[in-house]
Structure 1
Amino acid sequence: MARSVFLLDAFAHGPRLEGAAQAARDAGTAPAADTAVVRPAAPRAVSPGLAALALALVLGGCAAPAETPLPAVPTAASWREAGAWAPAQPADEAPRGDWWTLFGDPELDALERRLDAQSPDLAAALARYDQARAASALAGAAQGPSVSGSANVQRDRQSRQRPLRVLGPNSPDLYDSATLTLDLEYEIDLWGRVRQQVTSARAAEAAAQADLASARLSLQAQLADQWIALRGLDRDAQLLRSTEAAYARALDLVRERHDGGIASGLDLARAQAQLEATRSQLRQSLAQRAVVEHAVAALVGESPSTFSVETRSEALPLPSVPTGLPSQLLQRRPDIAAAQRRVAAANASLGVARTAFFPSVTLSAMGGLQTSQPGQILGAPNTWWAIGPTLALALFDGGRRAAGIANAQAQLDEAGARYRGQVLAAFQQVEDSLALIRETGAAADSEAAGLAAARRALALSTARYTEGAASYLEVVASQAAALQAERSLLDLGNRQRRATVTLVKALGGGWSPA
């Protein structure tokens, strides 16, 4: 019978209720003690055929696995960081759209199209999906009969000492033989073994299809993230170049004052050190940009040696993502759908393992033509045929079948646990992204105010130095503070945009106002 009934949290820690009687008592369907009993009439004779059919149906029901609910996942009534939430059901087939167009960059749009056409990682994921489709088709073919044919023409020599020689002791040692054969085999799926194999294969195919969608979404998000990082480094390099020019002018001013005996050698050394430190930061930023550019090339299937992206300092827009995100977005995560379908595949595989305890019934039929005169093979006397069922059952296997069921059950438990972990990870990723977008936005506001103050301090310290009221150390400190504040502001804006990409990925793709 069905081995176990899973509660919603059975994969995590729930008990299993064994037996139909216990299930009936729990459901309140067991007869009460004082229920009137109606004595049946005298039993009628049951034909052996009907009895065999009834037994097959009962045993088939024992072999079929019970419907396995997905494990329960702790959820909340709303996102902790923002918006309302409702329980989700997989809808990963829903269109996701070209969500990266939110950043308004035609170059990114073109690269995303190239990624879809040229990415080797995406091609590998597509090949894995094609393998799953082929495996599903192969499993489905087992539901129908197999028909094969053969033809054989040969020259034979039989031994003189062969028992039961053809045509007796006086038959010729040498003779010709021609045979045409048609063979048909069909497994009668009484216990649902073939049906469960097909169910498992189709669920695995659906999981592979979801894996393909997940790989595409992941690569799209990775490319968008790298592109945002690249454009952020372009703006950082532009800032450092303008700062380098400003520090070079400041160095010229200090050198003039030093040559005129107004500034000390210490002031000159500080101005030179500040300029060289900025040049070093610029070279480091350019090195990071080159690495990111190479990563973009690999993502879109191009050689990093020939791929290049022109420098552009315009800031990418920051998409406005509503905090009250529709709960349906989480339903569209393809990795969650893949995990759910692998639970279904493992459940069907458990049913296949249980059928090993029941005999396999195969109906075979074969026939054809056979003669020792190949030129006259098409004749009624040359016909032959054979038909009949085959019943096969393993009587002793040293516990192999029981171990197979235990293994299938463990795989089902693992698939359920992985599904639960995938959903929890999805919740975490959405919450993380919402928190990053909100907090980095608030930090950027504070950093902007700090930058304005740092620029005022730089202007005042420069004026005081020019007037001889302060040392160049004040100028250097103000320069460093202003540069750090401006670079931090650029970085926070970059992190906000990258967190938006992560949020889109966490929600399973793009969305539409509808």
Structure 2
Amino acid sequence: MRLHVWIVLASLSLGACNVGPDFIRPQSGLSESWQLPENSDVRSEAIPAAVDPRWWDSFGDPRLSSLIERAANENLDVRSAFSRLEQSRAARGVIAAGQSPDLSAGAGYSRARNSQQGLNDPSGNAGRAAYNLWQGGLSAAWEFDLWGRVRREVEAADAGVQVAQQAQRDVLLAVLADTARNYIQLRATQNALDITRQSLAIARRSHLLNQMRLDEGVATQLEVAESAAQVAAIEARLPPLQQREAQLINALSLLLAQPPQSLKQDLASAAAPAMPMGPARVPVGLPSELAERRPDVRRAEAALHAATAEIGVAEGDFYPRITLSGDAGFQALQLGGLGWDARRFALGPSLSLPLFDGGRLRGNLQLQEARQQEAAIAYRKTVLLAWHEVDDAFVAYQAQQRRQASLEVAVEQSRAALESAEQQYAQGAVDFLNVLSVQNVLLTNQAERIDSAAAASLALVDLYRALGGGWQMAEAH
């Protein structure tokens, strides 16, 4: 008979329904194609091919690829995020244990004496003498999840694991992008340093020429002072650039969990390093793929799933809880008496039903429903933000490419103008002020061209991050 009771209750537990709403995956609302600007006058083209999971290789810089792979493995933020993921998995295991029976074993000895005026003395001594009590056995308890409350808790915990996993991927993606951004900015700074040093060499030659012309009585003291001022002005550009170079090397060192300046020997360059430039054809995939690829969108979806499951947990608190508990073992006043005749057992179900709680359960249910509404709104906002980020990044990439094309022409013409001005000055056709003016224009155009090239590459990094690419390959390693 007792076996039949166990079978019936277990069947009810396994076949019971789940309280609360079932999670329905939300529609992202993304369109079937990107509404990107025309790109006929720039060197980039968005194509609906799959996003390159190793987009950093498309810049054609082995040093950049090496740094990104190191950051994926060594960055401390990534490691911390993985630790949080492991914590969520462990917490899920704790919650899932509620679906299984609790079984424990125990044994004990005590020496006791009861009151002569109190309850009955189990030793038969009527409280006049102390006695020994030896006992041991097994105890078990199992809550029958008839309404699915515990199953909803496990479902919420599973969604919580997904939240932590997507958060870890989001951190990884941010670290990859930050590494690329800092590296590109470092190369831009080093290129700016190289251009400044070249301009400084030209200014010093001009100043030396003016000194010689002054000695010959051809130039004036004003021209010598102007050329000296130009040398000092260009020299003043170097310290901020050198400071910026050191700070960016430190930033990369921190991303790789290395001490300050530890990468200086590898990244410092006396010659002008090549600026990492992106490809002409940029695979952007389809808008609908963002919901599958971007970790923040998937995290928002998992958070909505968890909030939905928590409603079921709150609803389950309104229903009765049925627990079957049992205890079996041996008990004797003497150690030698622990035989079959000293056996004992207790078995039976217990039921608890909330009758009055002052509105606590109702308030908790309303709270969980409000949290689900907030999670749904957060999901919609995350998807919309992802869409905007892709559009903004590609517009920026194309705009900087157009700017760069114009600046290349400006630099070429400014360089030709400087050569012409220097020749005319040597012939006495123009004064030195014209040379200084043209040289400043060239230096400004060169600096802006470097800035534009870096901005285009940074915009491409932002585009790849907005598309959610990169964490897949880095996570695989």
TM-score by length of 2: 0.88
Larger deviation, residues 195-204 vs 327-336: 327-336
AA at the equivalent of 2:301: Q
Distance 1:265 1:95 in 2: 62
CA deviation after TM superposition for structure 1 residue 177, in Å = 0.8
- 2:186 is the alignment partner of 1:230: yes
Aligned 8 A contact 1:151 1:179 in 2? yes
For 2:330, the equivalent position in structure 1 comes to: 369
Partner residue in 2 for 1:335: 296
Alignment map for 1:194-343 (pairs within 5 Å) = 194-308=150-264, 309-311=267-269, 313-320=272-279, 322-323=281-282, 325-327=284-286, 330=290, 331-343=292-304
Checking the alignment, whether the CA contact within 8 Å between 2:16 and 2:145 is kept in structure 1 is no
Q: Which moved more, 1:328-337 or 1:492-501?
A: 328-337
Of stretches 153-162 and 446-455 in structure 1, the one that deviates more from structure 2 is 153-162
Give ranges in structure 1 of 5+ residues lacking alignment: 1-48, 87-93
Determine which of 355, 359, 377 is the counterpart of 2:316. Answer: 355
Aligned-residue offset at 1:283:
1.5
Q: Please state how far the C-alpha of 1:291 moved relative to its aligned partner.
A: 0.6
Q: CA deviation at 1:305?
A: 4.6
Name the aligned partner's letter for residue 210 of structure 1: Q
Specify the alignment match of 1:387 in structure 2.
347
> What letter corresponds to residue 314 of structure 1 in structure 2?
P
Give the drift of 1:383: 1.0
Separation in structure 2 between the aligned mates of residue 109 and residue 382 of structure 1, nearest angstrom: 74
The alpha-carbon distance between structure 1 residues 451 and 400, as it changes in their structure 2 partners (threshold 3 A), is same
Three-state SS of the structure 2 residue aligned to 1:358 is coil
Residue of structure 1 equivalent to 2:383: 423
1:119 is aligned to 2:75 = yes
Which residue of structure 2 lines up, in the alignment, with residue 44 of structure 1? none
SS for the counterpart of 1:231 is helix
Say yes or no: does 1:156 pair with 2:133.
no
What is the CA distance between 1:76 and its match in structure 2?
6.8
Report the CA distance shift for 1:166/1:146 in structure 2 as closer, same or farther (over 3 A): closer
Give the length in aligned residue pairs: 451
One-letter amino acid of the structure 1 residue matched with residue 268 of structure 2: E
8 Å contact from structure 2 (residues 22, 309) kept in 1: no
Unaligned runs of 5+ in 2: 39-45
More divergent stretch after superposition (277-286 vs 262-271): 262-271
Matches of 1:166 and 1:376 in 2, distance apart? 15
Separation in 1, partners of 2:280, 2:293: 17
Give the match's secondary structure for 1:357.
coil
Distance 1:167 1:228, change over 3 A: closer
SS of residue matched to 2:346: strand
- After TM superposition, the score normalised by the length of structure 1 is 0.82
What is the aligned-residue identity percentage?
30
CA distance in 2, matches of 1:347, 1:321: 44
Contact kept? 1:181, 1:367, Cα under 8 Å = yes
Q: Which residue of 2 aligns with 1:411?
A: 371
8 Å CA contact retained: 1:366, 1:387 = yes
Query: What's the secondary structure of 2:317's corresponding residue?
Result: helix
- Report the secondary structure of 1:132's partner residue: helix
Which residues in structure 2 correspond to 1:68-83 (within 5 Å)?
68-70=24-26, 73=29, 75=31, 77-81=33-37, 83=46
Return closer, same or farther for 1:509/1:398 CA change in 2, 3 Å cut-off.
Answer: same
* Cα deviations by residue, 1:453-475 (Å, 9 ceiling, x for unpaired): 21222122222222222221111
Structure-2 change in CA distance of 1:490 and 1:345 (3 Å): same
Task: Note the aligned Cα RMSD (angstroms).
Answer: 2.6
Cα distance, 1:387 vs. partner? 1.0
Q: Is the counterpart of residue 470 in structure 1 residue 430 in structure 2?
A: yes
Which residue in 2 is equivalent to 1:401? 361
Change (3 A) 1:417 1:464: same
Equivalent residue for 2:447, pick from 474, 477, 487: 487
Aligned AA for 1:418? A
Query: Which protein, 1 or 2, shows the higher relative CO under an 8 Å CA cutoff with sep ≥ 6?
Result: 2
Structure 1 residues 323 and 310: alpha-carbon distance in aligned structure 2, compared to 1, 3 A threshold: closer
CA contact (8 A) 1:159 1:173 kept: no
1:159 deviates by: 2.2
- 1:270/1:372 CA distance change after superposition, 3 Å: same
In structure 2, the residue corresponding to 1:142 is in which secondary structure? helix
Q: Is the 8 A contact 2:100 2:142 kept in 1?
A: yes
Partner of 2:457: 497
What is the deviation of 1:493? 1.0
- Give the distance between the partners of 2:131 and 2:351, measured in 1 at CA: 37
